[in-house]
Chains A and B, each alone.
Chain A
Amino acid sequence: MFELIRANKRRSVILVFVMLLVLLALGFLIGAAVVPSVGASRVDYRGDQASIQPGFAFDPTGGFLGMGVAFFIWMIQSAIAYFAGGRILLSISGAREIKKEDHPQLFNVVEEMTIAARLPKMPRVFLIDNMALNAFATGRSPDNAAVAVTAGLLGKLDRDQLQGVIAHEISHIVHRDVLFMTMVGIMLGTIVMISEVFLRSLWYSSATRRYRSSSRREGGGAQMILMVVAIVFAILAPIIAQLIYFAVSRRREYLADAGAAVYTRYPEGLAGALEVLARDNQPMENVSRATAPMYIVNPLNKMSAAGLMSTHPPLQDRIKVLRCIAGGVSYADYQTAWSKALGKKAGSIPASALASKERAPLRKPSGKSAKAARRRMREAGDLLRNVNDFLFLACVCGMRVKLPPDFKKDHVDCPRCKRTLQVPVAQLAAIGAIGDQLTGATASPAQGKEALTVTRHGREWMSFKCRCGAMKNLSPSFTADHTTCTQCGRSIQIVQG
């Protein structure tokens, strides 16, 4: 496993280096092309010198200046991405951290995969407020990693499939893909930004520059050639950088799939999940081209073919490879399945991983039923409403009525049995749940009301009427010595008799 990380690191360093060269070359060319023509007196003087002396006298000052500027922009962006990248990504996608009580199964699955991947610490778990099916991982190192899944994903996938998806994300964390993809993504962003600014400024200032260069003829041909080269490179550089970036992104998706198969020992889990994901056509919100490679499937264009410009390999290919794994799981098995399924020899797995002899037997699926699917969907919806501060009201008919946090009335009709349900306004105000919006409704404040004292015998069910007329029930499990009336907010003392 460490071998794998090291191989990944080496490859990343080379790639970052190539991208950096592209970036610096771009900065140099643009700097060299722009600076002498800007019209600063010092440069003008040199330009005159160049025109006096016959032939080509190249002055690299502008070039180095451009390089410096490009490097500086990149450094600042990288620093921001390194220290706040995870937080930015999480907040852009509208993810919220959840606790174990919110969704025990998701937590358990993340914990299982943490153990399987031997991470030192369990990543934090986030829920994306969205019914589309997707997931991503962030964090520059396993110590501050986080996984985020959409509510839709929790609703649609069964346990094994969810485990496959989480394993894929954990595998991204283990392989340090998140840090790497962020860093390279930032570099790509810088290259695109610089070229764009250059080309646009050229477009807008072309008229004045043409006038100036024709009137003075400083620099002459040399400057002209430099300009053309810079323009061509400014057009080409983003394309080159993107090709590198996307190619690596696709490779890493395959590697993460392989990792998922190894960790879960059940490739069908992820394969099934990808199949469900492929069928889903809910659009994902709040995704930009920059954050797209972080997700398990491309949230922007899921069905795109194996184009050079796609961040993820086609889903069909990924499913095919996973389904071809037979006998046992290891990185070598994945590689075999890969060439068998896609008919290509080129490997997506570093040789060091293939050499490892670890091979685990396949696992059996855990049971599933159609009824469970419905329940899961309902639970995911409830979870989403729960984190969004919805209020749940239980009706006698068994229906659970869900009220949005901005619900303003103090009663609601059950949609199934048409009974009128009272919203426990006073109680909510007391615990400050949705309070502010509701207290103004019709609830009379609890203050200034005489407390009620009730005598209770033993621990049996007990019913009594509050002074306001509302019925109050105490269950055998109720043991406190006081409570409040849900209607009027009066405090009720319970005396054991």
Chain B
Amino acid sequence: MIVLVALGIIVGLGVLLFLWFIGIYNGLVRLKNAVKNAWSQIDVQLKRRHDLIPNLIETVKGYMTHERETLENITKARNLAANASGVGEQAKAEGQLNQALSSFFLVVENYPDLKANTNFLSLQEELTSTENKIGFARQAYNDAAMQFNNKIEMFPSNIVAGMFNFRQAEFFEIEDEAERAVPKVSFS
């Protein structure tokens, strides 16, 4: 009788433990999918930007015959970014593309004709918007990644994470050289 009760308790505890285990595992999967979903949001915008750039080059080519180098830089950075894989590499490539684009838009100031071109203006608007969208989606992705990473590292979910080989999500941080650089101030 006593043996039976003890056995029952042990089995009951085992079942409880198993259920708890499943709960943790499912929680981890849910967070992982949230990270994936947030990343796909960014990915859509990145793809859109990569698609816009050839159009941009095509539009400005006629106007900017003397800026071959700037345009080539953009194309190069764009191709690099389009072929990048993995969050970290992508972020680095996008940072370079950002830089190439911002130096391009500085040069545009010297071409009033181009600035009056409606096609160019709508492309510029689309590019600005996708850049903003990437920025806002990045915040959501990084929050999701942070939550997932916390769960992986914290006890007791770290045990389950270790057993099923959940790996930490990378943060998506675009290096912005322009923001880092110290502005030069001269009073002369």
* Interfacial residues, chain A to chain B (CB-CB below 8 A): 104-105, 108-109, 111-113, 115-116, 118, 159, 263, 358, 360, 363-364, 366-367
Contact = CB atoms under 8 A, between A and B. Distances in A.
B128 A159 contact: yes
Contacts of B140: 115, 118
B133 A112 contact: yes
10 contacts: A104-B122, A104-B125, A105-B125, A105-B129, A108-B125, A108-B128, A111-B129, A115-B140, A116-B136, A263-B136
A115 B129 contact: no
Contacts of B129: 105, 108-109, 111-112
Given A116-B139, A118-B140, A360-B139, A111 B133 contact: yes
B30 to A, nearest CB: 16
B137 A115 contact: yes
Nearest to A116: B136
Interface in B127-141: 128-129, 132-133, 135-137, 139-140
A118 B179 CA distance: 26
Contacts of A367: 105
A113 B129 CA distance: 11
B67 interface: no
Contacts of B125: 104-105, 108
Interface of B: 41, 105, 122, 125-126, 128-129, 132-133, 135-137, 139-140, 143, 179
Nearest to A113: B136
B128 A115 contact: no
Nearest to A105: B125
For the complex, would chain B's binding face be called helix, strand, loop or mixed by DSSP majority?
helix
Contacts of B41: 115
A113 B132 CA distance: 9
Nearest to B45: A115
B126 A104 contact: yes
A38 B143 CA distance: 66
Nearest to A361: B179
A366 B136 contact: no
B171 to A, nearest CB: 14
Contacts of A366: 128
A198 B136 CA distance: 54
Nearest to B134: A115
A285 B41 CA distance: 40
Contacts of A115: 41, 133, 136-137, 140
Nearest to B42: A115
A275 B105 CA distance: 29
B132 A112 contact: yes
A341 B47 CA distance: 43
Given A159-B128, A366-B128, A112 B122 contact: no
Given A113-B136, A118-B140, A358-B143, 14 more contacts: A104-B125, A104-B126, A108-B125, A108-B126, A108-B128, A108-B129, A111-B129, A111-B133, A112-B129, A115-B41, A116-B139, A159-B128, A263-B136, A364-B179
Contacts of A263: 136
B68 to A, nearest CB: 24
A375 to B, nearest CB: 8
Contacts of B143: 358
B102 to A, nearest CB: 11
Choose among A363, A366, A367 the residue with the greatest number of B CB atoms under 10 Å from its CB: A367
A125 B132 CA distance: 19
Nearest to B38: A118
8 closest Cβ contacts across the A-B interface?
A108-B129, A116-B136, A115-B136, A112-B132, A115-B137, A112-B133, A115-B133, A105-B125
